[in-house]
């Protein structure tokens, strides 16, 4: 990559998730790129029904064990809280309750320290009160919860999801699908971005020059999209277009929904999101008369044999690689309509623990069943793209002479950065990656073999090493 990359005459962005759309908007509104032709290609019309960000809700929090991510998330959250980004119900601030077993976790301990440190800097110069206290809430901004009784008091459901932890009342959640629609409308309003609906089968790589260059993308309908500069922002599908073995992998996380009534929604809507760092299980406050149960865990891999994505086509099929890529209800073969029995049992256990029958809010006029005994109204897989330490991958690919930039590996936590991530990606493209992220986001010097332990960031819980197809083969559905 040149020290000062030139402004390209044309840019192709592959993928219209959070990273892709945010980058398109940042480029379209940046005067430096006023003469640049911007094309955005995605395999589905917007919104893609199996995109991880097209969902009822996403946690928005500054609660990170890493100070750099905590500070960036705090900056983004100020925009969610006080600007158009979170307006019209797109952002709701009900708090995040970080929990664990009696011994706690290093991630939880460090997250608490970081949010306390950041809030200490925001204290009124004339009074030792937090922002929420000064607005009349009458409670600490961040509460340490030492006992299970403390957790039950804060959650207010009659149940719990852990035995101790803390609650940060300034964390919240976003209506994910509405936020994506809002961002999509902002992109459209620039009238600068050409949209193409097509499936990218391969990058168009010129192997005749040294170093190699990416000229754009080859589509599965035979067309080519050419550009001076290509940005790959394809999330969990990135391992199908680049050889990311030992660099990043896609994993499936499990989600389910339970229908509740209007009165139950009112009773539960102010509950903070309880996230257990040891099990990974969490529940987000009700949205559209549904409770969302999910696991922020190590996930399931979906090993798939594919032609090598970066070799010339005549060589690619003779040199296949095995990578984990998504399997959804839109793929071939499609994902089964139910979750693996292991996941169903885990989410059902969470529901029973948090909403114990006979204790949790219950509207008899709506359903004869307590919340914990109701069937799932829907299930899905949410795909993460993980690196060994859960850092984003936002950098030039070193083998393509400045013609290919990669923005991926959201690791399940990219959504909350929506208000700021596009501008930062453009900074990185211009060679101005923030100092605190230079080493974290750069293309790695070595690949970490899959058989080595990927420590991730310490925020994941639950079982490890699960393979999607093997879990489905273990037996029938558990009780929904």
Separation of alpha carbons 161 and 200, rounded Å: 42
Q: Which two tokens stand for residue 256?
A: 């389910």
Separation of alpha carbons 110 and 121, rounded Å: 17
Q: Is the separation of the CB atoms in 75 and 420 below 8 Å?
A: yes
Nearest to 316 by CA among 444, 235, 201: 201
Angle at 84 between CA 25 and CA 90, to 5 degrees: 95
Q: Which two tokens stand for residue 55?
A: 């969902």
Residue range 19-41: average pLDDT? 98
* Per-residue model confidence (pLDDT) at position 438: 97
How long is the chain?
A: 480
Nearest to 410 by CA among 432, 399, 396, 425: 425
Burial of 358 (0-12, 13-18, 19+ CB in 10 A): exposed
pLDDT top residue among 305 and 130:
305
Q: Is the separation of the CB atoms in 327 and 335 below 8 Å?
A: yes
Give whole-number Cα distances, 34 to 11, 162, 341, in Å.
Answer: 12, 52, 52
Nearest to 80 by CA among 65, 90, 68: 90
* Per-residue model confidence (pLDDT) at position 129: 44
CB atoms within 10 A of CB 410: 26
Q: Does residue 45 form part of some domain?
A: yes
Q: Does residue 282 form part of some domain?
A: yes
Burial of 87 (0-12, 13-18, 19+ CB in 10 A): exposed
Q: Is the separation of the CB atoms in 234 and 244 below 8 Å?
A: no
* Per-residue model confidence (pLDDT) at position 47: 73
> pLDDT for 211-234, tens place per residue?
999 999 999 999 999 999 999 999
* Per-residue model confidence (pLDDT) at position 333: 85
Q: Is the separation of the CB atoms in 20 and 12 below 8 Å?
A: no
Structural domain of 198: 10-305+335-441
The 3-state DSSP class for residue 99 equals strand
Q: How confident is the model at residue 477 (pLDDT cuts 50, 70, 90)?
A: low
Q: Does residue 142 form part of some domain?
A: yes
Confidence check: pLDDT of 480 > 70: no
Pairing of strands 303-306, 300-301: unpaired
Q: Does residue 1 form part of some domain?
A: no
Q: Which two tokens stand for residue 449?
A: 């073999």
Widest Cα–Cα separation across the chain: 71
* Per-residue model confidence (pLDDT) at position 210: 97
Share of the chain above pLDDT 90, in %: 83
Residue range 346-354: average pLDDT? 96
CB atoms within 10 A of CB 143: 18
Share of the chain above pLDDT 70, in %: 95
* Per-residue model confidence (pLDDT) at position 363: 75
Separation of alpha carbons 348 and 15, rounded Å: 34
> pLDDT for 99-142, tens place per residue?
999 999 999 999 999 999 999 988 755 544 445 554 445 678 99
Nearest to 179 by CA among 88, 51, 292, 265: 88
Asked if omega into 333 is within 30° of 0 (cis), the reply is yes
Averaged pLDDT of the chain: 93
Separation of alpha carbons 423 and 322, rounded Å: 34
Residues sharing a CB contact under 8 Å with residue 272, sequence separation 6 or more, in sequence order: 94, 95, 96, 97, 154, 155, 167, 169, 171, 285
Separation of alpha carbons 301 and 113, rounded Å: 33
For position 411, which CATH number holds? 3.50.50.60
> pLDDT for 283-292, tens place per residue?
998 988 999 9
Q: Which two tokens stand for residue 192?
A: 């600068």
Give whole-number Cα distances, 424 to 44, 133, 334, in Å.
Answer: 26, 33, 36
> pLDDT for 72-89, tens place per residue?
999 999 999 999 999 999
> pLDDT for 443-476, tens place per residue?
999 999 877 878 899 999 999 999 999 999 997 6
Q: Does residue 469 form part of some domain?
A: no
Q: Is the separation of the CB atoms in 256 and 242 below 8 Å?
A: no
Handedness of CA 147, 148, 153, 155 (dihedral sign): positive
Number of domains in the chain: 1
């Amino acid at each position: 990559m040149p020290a000062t990359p030139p402004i390209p005459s044309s840019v192709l962005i592959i993928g219209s998730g959070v990273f892709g759309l945010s980058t398109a908007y940042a480029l379209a509104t940046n005067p430096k790129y006023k003469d640049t032709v911007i094309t955005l290609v995605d395999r589905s019309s917007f919104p893609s029904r199996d995109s991880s960000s097209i969902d009822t809700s996403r946690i928005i929090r500054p609660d990170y064990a890493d100070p750099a991510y905590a500070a960036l998330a705090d900056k983004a959250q100020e925009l969610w809280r006080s600007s158009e980004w979170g307006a019209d119900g797109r952002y709701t601030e009900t708090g995040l309750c970080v929990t664990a077993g009696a011994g706690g976790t290093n991630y939880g301990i460090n997250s608490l320290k970081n949010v306390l440190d950041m809030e200490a800097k925001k204290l009124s110069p004339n009074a030792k009160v937090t922002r929420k206290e000064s607005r009349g809430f009458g409670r600490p901004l961040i509460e340490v919860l030492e006992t299970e009784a403390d957790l039950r008091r804060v959650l207010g459901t009659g149940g719990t999801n852990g035995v101790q932890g803390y609650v940060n009342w300034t964390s919240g959640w976003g209506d994910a699908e509405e936020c994506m629609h809002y961002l999509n409308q902002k992109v459209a309003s620039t009238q600068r971005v050409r949209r193409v609906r097509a499936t990218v089968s391969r990058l168009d790589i010129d192997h005749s020059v040294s170093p190699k260059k990416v000229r754009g993308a080859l589509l599965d309908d035979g067309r080519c999209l050419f550009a001076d500069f290509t940005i790959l922002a394809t999330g969990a599908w990135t391992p199908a277009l680049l050889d990311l073995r030992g660099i990043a992998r896609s994993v499936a996380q499990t989600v389910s929904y339970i229908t509740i009534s209007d009165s139950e929604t009112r009773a539960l809507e102010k509950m903070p999101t309880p996230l257990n760092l040891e099990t990974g299980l969490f529940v987000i406050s009700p949205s559209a008369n549904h409770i969302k149960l999910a696991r922020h865990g190590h996930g399931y891999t979906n090993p798939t044999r594919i032609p090598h994505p970066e070799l010339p086509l005549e060589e690619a099929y003779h040199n296949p690689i095995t990578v984990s890529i998504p399997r959804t209800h839109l793929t071939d073969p499609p994902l089964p309509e139910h979750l693996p029995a292991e996941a169903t049992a885990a989410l059902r256990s969470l529901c029973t623990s948090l909403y114990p029958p006979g204790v949790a809010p219950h509207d008899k006029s709506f359903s004869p069943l307590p919340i914990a005994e109701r069937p799932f109204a829907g299930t899905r897989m949410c795909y993460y793209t993980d690196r060994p330490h859960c850092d984003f991958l936002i950098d030039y690919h070193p083998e393509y002479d400045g013609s290919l930039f990669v923005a991926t590996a959201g690791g399940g936590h990219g959504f909350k950065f929506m208000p700021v991530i596009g501008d930062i990606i453009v900074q990185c493209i211009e060679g101005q990656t923030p100092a605190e992220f230079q080493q974290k986001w750069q293309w790695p010097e070595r690949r970490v073999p899959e058989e080595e332990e990927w420590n991730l960031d310490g925020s994941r819980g639950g079982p490890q090493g699960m393979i999607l197809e093997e879990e489905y083969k273990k037996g029938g559905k558990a009780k929904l």
